[in-house]
Amino acid sequence: MKFFIDTADIREIEDLMTTGLVDGVTTNPTLIAKSGRRFLEVIADICRIVPGPVSAEVTATDYQTMIREGQKLASIAGNVIVKVPLTVDGLKACRTFSGMGIGVNVTLCFSAAQALLAAKSGATYVSPFVGRLDDQGYDGMALIEEIVNVYQNYTQLTTQILVASVRNPKHVVEAALLGADVGTLPPTVLKQMYHHPLTDKGLQAFLTDWSKTGQSIL
Note the maximum CA span of the chain: 71
Give 44's Cβ-side CA count (13 Å radius): 8
- Spell out the residues 6+ positions from residue 1 whose beta carbon is closer than 8 angstroms to its own: 172, 175, 176, 180, 181, 182, 183
Report how far residue 131's alpha carbon sits from residue 121's, in angstroms, rounded to the nearest whole number.
25
Specify whether 92 is catalytic.
no
Q: Which of 83, 170, 191, 201 is catalytic?
A: 83
How many CA atoms within 13 Å lie on the side-chain side of 7?
Answer: 19
CB 24 within 8 A of CB 53: yes
Task: Mention every residue, 6+ apart, whose C-beta is less than 8 A from residue 62.
Answer: 89
Which parts of 11-92 are beta strand (E)?
A: 24-26, 54-57, 80-85
Residues identified as active-site: 83
